[in-house]
Amino acid sequence: MKKVSVLGTGSYIPSRVLTNEDLSKFIETTDEWIVSRTGIKERHIVEDENTCDLAYHSALKAIEAAGIDKDEIDLLIVATFTGDNAFPAVANVLQARLGLREIMAFDMNAECSGFAFALVVAEKMLRSLKMNKALLIGAETISKYTDWSDRNTCVLLGDGAGAVVLGEGSGEIIDTNCYSKGDLNKYLYGAGTPLKSPENNVGNTVGNIEMNGREVFKFATRAIPSSVKSILEENNLQSDDIDLYIFHQANLRIIEKAAKDLGIPMDKVFVNIEKYGNTSAASIAIALDEAVRSGKIKRGDKIVTVAFGAGFTWGTSLIEY
């Protein structure tokens, strides 16, 4: 069976920076309050761009880094819950914008775990179908769904996109696992378009993001260590065998507690949350690209990525880069 490798990475961040000081001008908060509770100093939000725009720019960088021709791409998946429109899919529109040939293109929504879930699907499809290369993107414009009067959520969120090209190469996606626990969905959700009828033809509206931070923290600090231990045990590895860990950038306190519970020193954990906040499905992909481009990940290194999000959902990958 052919190996599936990460051939190239890319990311794109909107230019507008929203600092903690900026937020303090319209909500009751301070830089100290936000940093002490989340580790976030600033985030980027779109002005005149949408999810497809962010995905497009990150895709170009990943294709260039992989050193391939775009006509080699057989599969395109965009992980997002913030599509430009209800339909068609971001991936469908992006296929045309990138000038790709007629291939399979679709979106996947597992919220912050979207990239992890999409990685599993893409890897399995490349192994089992007549496909050789896949373009996988996590892209979000969460600012569209943010309640900018709610300091418990708005301080956390940012926009961005990250991409990878998968195909046969020197490395390998060694193992993956993904899970869902739907009975906890009430702790983190975004209300959808309400039902309507000919007699009650109200306008289409979408709710803001609602979150129970305490429950999210409890879930995440259980799910991360458990899934990491599981994937290491299944592959006869110890935590020291991993060169770098990339956890979903949701909250620095979650990352630090998970690392402590796993006995992992923080110098083996990649962190960029202070610059971008929580970019949902884009988080792991952006961090992966930054780690590669900064030299923190080199060919042959073993890395573990862990995502978690609404649903609740979570997923882990073991990758030899």
pLDDT in tens, 175-225: 999 999 988 888 888 888 888 888 888 777 778 888 998 999 999 999 999
What is the signed CA dihedral for 204, 208, 211, 216, rounded to 10 degrees? 80
57 among known catalytic residues: no
Number of domains in the chain: 2
175 neighbors 318 (Cβ within 8 angstroms)? yes
44 among known catalytic residues: no
Task: List pLDDT tens digits, range 112-159.
Answer: 999 999 999 999 999 988 899 999 999 999 999 999 999 999 999 999
Please report the pLDDT score of residue 185 as a whole number. 86
Among 44, 50, 109, 112, the one annotated catalytic: 112
* Residue 269 tokens, joined: 């954990």
Mean pLDDT of the chain: 95
Tell me, what CATH number does 83's domain have?
3.40.47.10
- Mark which of 171, 197, 219 sits at the end of a domain: 171
Same structural domain for residues 132 and 181?
A: no
- Mark which of 171, 205, 233 sits at the end of a domain: 171
Please report the pLDDT score of residue 200 as a whole number. 80
Rounded to an integer, the average pLDDT of 49-78 is 98
Among 50, 109, 178, 248, the one annotated catalytic: 248
The span from the CA of 320 to the CA of 98, in Å, is 28
Please report the pLDDT score of residue 46 as a whole number. 98
The span from the CA of 186 to the CA of 212, in Å, is 8
248 among known catalytic residues: yes
Would you say residue 1 has pLDDT above 70? Answer: no
Range of the domain at 251: 175-320
Same structural domain for residues 142 and 193?
A: no
- Mark which of 171, 191, 226 sits at the end of a domain: 171
